[in-house]
């Protein structure tokens, strides 16, 4: 999906989102979240990542349909028809303005002028270079004609193209495909022309991206591979979740009784640990275990995956800097269910939450208890104590405690 130069300037998107042709695509929902977050930083209202993700899916689906019903030979004929009807020079001016307003990376960074880019495109792709920009103009038009996209219109706004022959070019394309359908009634498709087919999702559900994705599944599903269908289904789930977050569960107003936590009926036993002389003098540093091991791997140029692999030099450095305590965060074996939930939400590289544990055992990934004992021994040789936190209710739904000792938990 190509986006405007103006939106890139306003939102200061990371270059990581963009392909060399200037298009953006999201491999997963986490990418769409990061993209939406960068937009939200410059808006009064947050941008739903689900809308961004759905818009990208619709763009991909349009391209699948065009590739199926209008292969390069048909599109070359269409472009020749457009140039004859509109004029080669106005079409070229429109293409140049389009490359300027929806720039590939080289043009956006000022390393190449739009005219130079088009010459290079034609030289490398020949006839397909002519087709490519005209086809992209068609997708921009379809997004602008889609009412459900209007909250995100600045990403694809075609207003800068108004002074050109852009609208005439689109009208000529529309006429070409309408005539093609009349002349070739045997061509499969649910509409009279390709353009009508491409407009159909927005016409069927003009103000709902979810509705448009459902239409695409129902009508175009036979054109889509299984992975794409699965992404569309996830995209629809994300849209529904966003609606729930924005609007809540409805008008339900529960009668919640106020609780009294006075506790006068309970005896309170103080079991504070004794204050020892080292406690007030402790200089503590906290380290997220997984993050620290990754940082050390980069620093020392080798994989450091377990606690016993932490170099002595690093412990010496902590000692020399005056630290006498090392708090290791995220030591415990984490819930497998937590990781699966995160991955289903689109973050395929996620690890389980540190607040959702399987058991209070040192994680196997970190080397287990033996690796911790090795680190503890080496740290204490340098006068560094190890510490960790323990919160009993930080248990995953599939944890050993839940499975083996359900009576330890309150059921509400």
- At residue 255 the predicted structure's pLDDT band, cuts being 50, 70 and 90, is low
State percent of the chain over pLDDT 70.
87
Instruction: Collapse the DSSP code of 387 into the 3-class scheme (helix H, G, I; strand E, B; otherwise coil) and give the result.
Output: strand
DSSP symbol at 31: H
Strand-pair category, 332-334 with 357-362: antiparallel
* CA distance linking residue 80 with residue 301, whole number of Å: 57
The answer, yes or no, to whether residue 199 has pLDDT greater than 60, is: yes
CATH 3.30.70 fits 284-408, yes or no: no
Task: Please give the residue that has the higher pLDDT: either 76 or 411.
Answer: 76
Cβ atoms of residues 231 and 238 within 8 Å: no
pTM summary value? 0.60
| Domain spans of the chain, in order of start | 5-247, 284-408
Cβ atoms of residues 99 and 114 within 8 Å: yes
* CA distance linking residue 30 with residue 342, whole number of Å: 10
* CA distance linking residue 250 with residue 342, whole number of Å: 26
Average pLDDT, the chain: 85
Cβ atoms of residues 398 and 335 within 8 Å: yes
Range with the lowest mean pLDDT among 8-17, 40-49, 122-131, 332-341? 122-131
pLDDT score of 251 = 54
Instruction: Collapse the DSSP code of 188 into the 3-class scheme (helix H, G, I; strand E, B; otherwise coil) and give the result.
Output: coil
Mean pLDDT is highest, among 73-82, 124-133, 343-352, for 73-82
Q: Which of 117, 173, 99, 108 lies closest to 141 in space, CA to CA?
A: 173
Strand-pair category, 284-288 with 325-329: parallel
Crossing angle of helices 209-220 and 226-247, rounded to 10°: 160
* CA distance linking residue 167 with residue 170, whole number of Å: 5
pLDDT (average), residues 378-398: 86
Q: Quote the tokens at residue 271.
A: 């079991």
Instruction: Collapse the DSSP code of 237 into the 3-class scheme (helix H, G, I; strand E, B; otherwise coil) and give the result.
Output: helix
pLDDT (average), residues 348-373: 83
Cβ atoms of residues 359 and 401 within 8 Å: yes
* CA distance linking residue 376 with residue 385, whole number of Å: 7
The answer, yes or no, to whether residue 190 has pLDDT greater than 70, is: no
CA distances from 261 to 5, 265, 266, 408, 412 (A): 58, 10, 11, 21, 17
Over its C-alpha atoms, the chain yields an Rg (Å, rounded) of 30
């Amino acid at each position: 999906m190509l986006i405007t130069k103006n939106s890139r300037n306003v939102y200061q998107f990371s270059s990581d989102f963009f392909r060399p042709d200037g298009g953006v695509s999201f491999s997963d929902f986490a990418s769409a979240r990061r993209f939406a977050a960068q937009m939200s930083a410059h808006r009064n209202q947050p941008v739903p990542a689900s809308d961004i993700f759905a818009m990208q899916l619709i763009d991909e689906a349009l391209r699948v349909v065009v590739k199926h019903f209008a292969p390069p030979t048909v599109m070359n004929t269409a472009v020749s028809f457009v140039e004859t009807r509109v004029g080669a020079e106005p079409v070229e001016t429109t293409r140049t303005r389009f490359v300027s307003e929806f720039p590939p990376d080289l043009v956006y960074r000022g390393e190449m002028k739009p005219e130079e880019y088009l010459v290079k495109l034609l030289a490398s792709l020949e006839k397909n270079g002519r087709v490519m920009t005209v086809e992209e103009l068609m997708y921009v038009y379809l997004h602008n004609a889609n009412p459900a996209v209007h909250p995100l219109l600045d990403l694809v706004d075609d207003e800068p193209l108004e002074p050109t022959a852009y609208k005439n070019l689109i009208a000529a394309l529309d006429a070409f495909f309408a005539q093609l359908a009349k002349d070739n009634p045997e061509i499969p498709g649910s509409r009279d022309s390709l353009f009508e087919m491409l407009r159909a999702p927005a016409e069927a559900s003009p103000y709902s991206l979810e509705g448009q994705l459902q239409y695409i599944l129902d009508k175009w599903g036979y054109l889509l591979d299984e992975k794409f269908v699965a992404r569309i289904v996830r995209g629809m789930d994300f849209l529904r979740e966003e609606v729930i977050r924005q609007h809540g569960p409805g008008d339900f107003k529960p009668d919640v009784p106020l609780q009294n936590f006075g506790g006068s009926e309970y005896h309170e036993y103080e079991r504070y640990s004794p204050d020892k002389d080292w406690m007030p003098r402790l200089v503590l540093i906290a380290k997220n275990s997984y993050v620290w091991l990754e940082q050390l791997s980069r620093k020392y140029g080798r994989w450091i995956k377990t606690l016993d692999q932490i170099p002595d030099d690093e412990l010496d450095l902590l000692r020399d800097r005056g630290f006498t305590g090392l708090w290791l965060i995220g030591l415990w074996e984490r819930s497998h269910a937590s990781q699966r939930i995160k991955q289903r939400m689109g973050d395929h590289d996620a690890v389980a939450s540190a607040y959702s544990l399987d058991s209070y055992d040192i994680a196997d990934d970190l080397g287990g208890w033996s690796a911790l004992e090795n680190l503890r021994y080496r740290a204490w040789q340098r006068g560094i104590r190890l510490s960790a936190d323990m919160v009993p209710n930080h248990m995953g739904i599939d944890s050993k405690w839940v499975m083996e000792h359900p009576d330890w938990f309150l059921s509400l």
